Amino acid sequence: MKVHKEGRRILFVTILVLLALNLALYQFNRGAVLFNRIFAGVSVVAFLALLQFFRSPFRHLFTHEDLLLAPADGKVVVIEDVYEPEYFEDMRKQISVFMSPINVHVTRNPISGMVKYFKYHPGNYLVAWHPKSSTQNERTTVVVASDAGPLVLFRQIAGAMARRIVWYVNEGDEVNQGEEFGFIKFGSRVDLFVPIDADVKVELGQKVKGGETVICQLKV
């Protein structure tokens, strides 16, 4: 287990602030012993909660050119055929993974290939399970020409709490299945759009692990 690079500065600043507050209370509020102890306990719990959010556990990754792996930890909340208007402008199968605040928030390439399209969209912060969050919230869209042949679109979506999306890919990059392509701070959702004939391997409500759980198999 390690701390993700996106959280190191936040954790460092947080522990300095909490230490300063607790030292100030000890120095100037010595008479309120119970209050000081409660505040110290709350400080520890708050820091540990933040620490677990930025954890980056080791994953046993494997690669297979026609299998899509989960792009993030979380729960499958959408499996349906939809019209995808941004890039494909036709029907695609959408599979969405919702990330709660207690999930690991690293986002991973679901498949290997070349990035054919990338775009960042500023937007709103509707709750991540809202039907319009996929098209109205702050988000990134990545389209990869997979090594297996078919194009795959995946999208990071910010939610009501997640107000900071980080990405590490750009058009023209070669990406490797299971490697990090970004990070969403404080929970949200990742959508996958694959060909209609893709063989889905997960069910609604199923919990998945980024880089390990097989989401679907492409027809090649």
Query: Which fold does the domain 67-217 belong to in CATH?
Result: Glucose Permease (Domain IIA) (2.70.70)
Here the contacts of 41-46 (C-beta below 8 Å, separation 24 or greater) are 43/18, 46/14, 46/18
Residue 134 carries which side chain, given as an amino acid letter?
S
pTM more than 0.85 = no
Q: Determine how many CB atoms are found less than 10 A away from the CB of residue 186.
A: 16
How high is the pLDDT of residue 112? 93
Q: What pLDDT score was predicted for residue 196? A: 95
Successive 10-residue mean pLDDT values, the chain, 220 residues:
71 88 85 84 84 73 84 92 94 93 84 94 65 70 92 85 76 90 80 94 94 90
> What is the distance, to the nearest Å, from the Cα of residue 39 to the centroid of all Cα atoms in its chain?
32
How many Cα atoms occupy the beta-carbon half-sphere of 161 within 13 Å?
A: 14
How does DSSP assign 104-153, residue by residue? --EEE-SS-EEEEEEEEE--B---TTSTTHHHHBSEEEEEEEETTSSEEE
In whole angstroms, give the CA distance from residue 49 to residue 102: 9
Contacts of 40-45 spanning 24+ positions with Cβ under 8 A: 43/18
Non-local (6+) Cβ contacts of 13 within 8 A are: none
Q: Smallest Cα–Cα separation from 146: which of 110, 170, 182, 118? A: 110
Tell me the two tokens of residue 145: 């020409």
**Residues annotated catalytic, as ranges:** 188
